[in-house]
Structure 1
């Protein structure tokens, strides 16, 4: 069994020894930093139990958001493993996503979601570049884009900025007053509005275009750093994450990445949960 768990949902697949998918499953959020360790462990334990009743499991690997830190992974694993008589491993969701996207081979996985991170497999080691979280800086991701957008709206309110396209969005969101903007930003998950600010950029907002261009340059810098750390020839790279589906932003990033020689763009081979299942299968075969 392999699973991919985040802040909104957890998906899993069961595969046999020939790597054929037997079934797919889905349940709620399992990021321990979103729902708490007790709730995360409880949900995952019940999820594994439900699947184990239908398909007698030989092993399970769970790729869970927030568990790239080995101490976090160990803490969650210790709350789960005692209930089962087969091996269970907890890994960061980026690692299992990488394994699925590149079928366990060398290369880079760029994830552009709330934040932006590159996970690089050099063949000798795994290296994480970026992805430090919004408090430190997750440039290139949805939160950083949205923060710049709402900051620009604050300048509209003060009269420090004039931008007709952005003004229209601010009117639509009803945030053209100081108190309304502050209340809105504090109450909302602002990252979900990144796409709207990208629309403003494509619609003629000079400020948003400049901001989006800066964010795209940050993503290109992540890739450039990965390329410098890779010595295996052309670097295979897969785009992933919610913002990778935004065509305008993706084209802007690629226009900057194309200035970097030695990249080989690829489509994801498998889903993150299937990648986790492949790791579980490999682990089971090696320990049996």
Structure 2
């Protein structure tokens, strides 16, 4: 039995998928951060080693033949960083008497492959942050947005969460009408009165991820018909559509490619997803759009790339066709 390994290494978690030749998932292992810039380089290396050891043990115990591994690692960009990463993986393989080809890709490439099954096209990510990538058939990579929560991240969980909190206080001041968001946030934060939100927010260090967590309350309220929540989601979807439009206008060849919408906001909010597509369709009526699936995480996309690059059905036992 032959398998391919895909790794999605991020700043908060890492996922490893072992995929069979028929593209079904055989095993999946999760771990902590492996981005050397969000944790220490040593901690990132140790966590990746731990996950690889777990995966390689799984393979050896079942006498499985791995035909290739693809690593999509955040924070790994330069040739030197890629070389160091490949050497690290080779050392782990050596300890297990394993030998198979290795390739390193960007986060965007593995996410696009997971969502669309293609290595070219437009990737739109709306999670805690947001960004739009364009991957051309000539091999060039373009981007728009992704400037972080202070300078951008339009359409992101952070911006939705922030507008949720701000909208509640505008409702309290009667600038905006009453909203279901008030009771949802009050309950989530265990506040006696919504005016306590100011103390709750300002007297503790709130990270970008913490603010983004309130986006799920906005999505819930919108599903129950709350006008303010719906307005927030639609306005943020329109903002991200604007960013996507700018990239497509700058690189017209990408207008013929698939646009893959990924990330937790697209996944969990049909209102956001539908309005984003409506905004783009008004400008690009023939654009083909797909939405990522929870069943096809980025690590699965990495395994698909490994399969695409290293799968030779007629390969003999010696590795030669």
- Retained in 2: the 8 A contact 1:3–1:13? yes
Task: Choose 1 or 2 for highest CA Rg.
Answer: 2
Corresponding position: 1:179 with 2:199: yes
1:121 Cα offset (Å):
1.9
- Retained in 2: the 8 A contact 1:9–1:26? no
Aligned pair in 2 of structure 1 residues 267, 114: CA closer, same or farther (>3 Å)? Answer: closer
> 1:1-12 residue pairs with structure 2 within 5 A?
1-12=5-16
2:44 to 26, 40, 47: 40
Structure 2: runs of 5 or more not aligned = 313-318
> 1:56-205 residue pairs with structure 2 within 5 A?
56-67=65-76, 69-70=77-78, 73-74=81-82, 77=85, 80-81=88-89, 83=91, 84-85=93-94, 86=99, 87-124=101-138, 125-155=140-170, 159=173, 161-165=175-179, 166-172=181-187, 173=189, 174=191, 175-177=194-196, 178-183=198-203, 186=206, 189-201=210-222
Deviates more, 1:54-63 or 1:205-214: 205-214
1:285 Cα offset (Å):
6.5
Correspondence for 2:29 = 26
Aligned pair in 2 of structure 1 residues 15, 194: CA closer, same or farther (>3 Å)? Answer: closer
1:210 Cα offset (Å):
4.2
- Retained in 2: the 8 A contact 1:108–1:226? no
1:76 Cα offset (Å):
6.4
The alignment yields a C-alpha RMSD, in angstroms, of 3.4
- Retained in 2: the 8 A contact 1:153–1:176? no
Aligned pair in 2 of structure 1 residues 138, 21: CA closer, same or farther (>3 Å)? Answer: same
Structure 1: runs of 5 or more not aligned = none
**What is the SS of the residue equivalent to 1:46?**
helix
1:141 Cα offset (Å):
0.6
- Retained in 1: the 8 A contact 2:127–2:264? yes
1:267 Cα offset (Å):
4.8
1:263 Cα offset (Å):
0.7
1:219 Cα offset (Å):
1.2
The separation in 2 between residues aligned to 1:237 and 1:108, in whole angstroms, is 5
1:43 Cα offset (Å):
1.6
1:204 Cα offset (Å):
6.2
Say how many residue pairs are matched: 285
Deviations 1:168-219 (A, max 9, x none): 3443332422212323672771211112224445656655444433311111
Corresponding position: 1:251 with 2:274: yes
Deviations 1:4-50 (A, max 9, x none): 2335543323346x454472221212342444332221121122223
TM-score using structure 1 length = 0.81
Deviates more, 1:254-263 or 1:200-209: 200-209
The separation in 1 between residues aligned to 2:178 and 2:80, in whole angstroms, is 46
Aligned pair in 2 of structure 1 residues 82, 106: CA closer, same or farther (>3 Å)? Answer: closer
The separation in 2 between residues aligned to 1:251 and 1:223, in whole angstroms, is 15
The separation in 1 between residues aligned to 2:186 and 2:54, in whole angstroms, is 48
